[in-house]
Amino acid sequence: MLGALLKEIELQKEYFSASPLAPLLAERGASEPDMIEKIYFGGGTPSILEIGDLKLVISKVRETFHVLATAEITLEANPDDIDKEKLAGWKEIGINRLSIGIQSFFDEDLQWMNRAHNAQQAIDNLQLAIKQFDNITIDLIYGHPLLTNEKWKQNVEQVIALNIPHISCYALTVEPKTPLDKMIREKKKENVQQEKQAEQFLLLMRWLEEAGYEHYEISNFAKPGFRSKHNTSYWQGKKYLGLGPSAHSFNGISRQWNISNNNVYIESLSKNEIPFEKETLTDTQKLNEYIMTSLRTVEGLDLVKVSSRQSAVGSQQFLMKSRRFILQGKMIEENNFLKLTREGKLFADGIAAELFIG
């Protein structure tokens, strides 16, 4: 797998078509669209890789692309994979941000979610990580049957007490054909309740705002200066290259995704072939993606940008549809930007779908 990944990096060296001036700009502390601003090790469990393997991948990326000296390099890590030696090794090879999948600080919740770590491991290893890394984000899950509002408050308070600078919070979703979906259908586990999820999301927004976190995207909260460059690049429509099985890439014009089968991926790369599918986005698709992603952010949707990409009639129809949500108190218009209110954030995906261009 590692050999195939390194081969894919080599074969994708022209993906961004980086400018010859990029190295000069980097020396001057400047950036351009094709400079690499972040590297993200995610999906699966990259924290089980040996330090030397991670170092090899980072070195290959730096050799192949124009990577900023200040690039954000994030590693997703399970709490049970963390120890002093690994933390020191990750930091030494250039990783400067950790994303730790905590999910909950209660054992019964972790067992219900089939997580390998326990609550004490989560706290102990977070405390170890804080000694080595300033930039840490953790994931928490809300809205599942075992989570009372009081337990949810204790989870959030634990994050605040540890002074974690970034937190991503997600409502539990039950994906079809998963073990959880099967157990719920067989009445072995209780199903999620949307009303409970909405209530806990509203509480989360209030608690973290009072603690000084900026709610800069629907699922993401950060202390000043700790927004995720990785997440933000998606919402801003920037180009990105995904490497490895199932990885997605976007160059501003088309989107492509690698095959998910590990064996086929490895075999294809051994023949210097990247196994992927591709679609070229229409102007309408690109505009609808902008509507969907921009509404999720604190900055909101730029009405001038939307108007410039469609006819006068289409622009007028868009404004009429948006007025309905403004009158409902789910959205506000501010300096030619549409922004969701707290209540509106509960319906972000549905509102975006209603505003999509036909």
Q: Which residues pair with 334 in a beta bridge?
A: 337
Residue 208 burial (10 A CB sphere; 0-12, 13-18, 19+) = buried
Question: Which residue did the predictor score with more confidence, 54 or 186?
Answer: 54
Cβ atoms of 311 and 318 closer than 8 Å = no
Please report which confidence band the pLDDT of residue 20 belongs to, taking 50, 70 and 90 as the band edges: very low
Go through the domains of the chain in sequence order and give each one's CATH number: 17-235 (3.30.750.200), 283-355 (1.10.10)
Nearest to 166 by CA among 212, 210, 200: 212
Nearest to 101 by CA among 85, 83, 125: 125
pLDDT tens, 36-51?
A: 999 999 977 899 999 9
Average pLDDT, the chain: 91
Please report which confidence band the pLDDT of residue 33 belongs to, taking 50, 70 and 90 as the band edges: very low
What backbone torsions phi and psi does residue 45 show, to the nearest 5 degrees? -135, 75
- Model confidence, pTM: 0.89
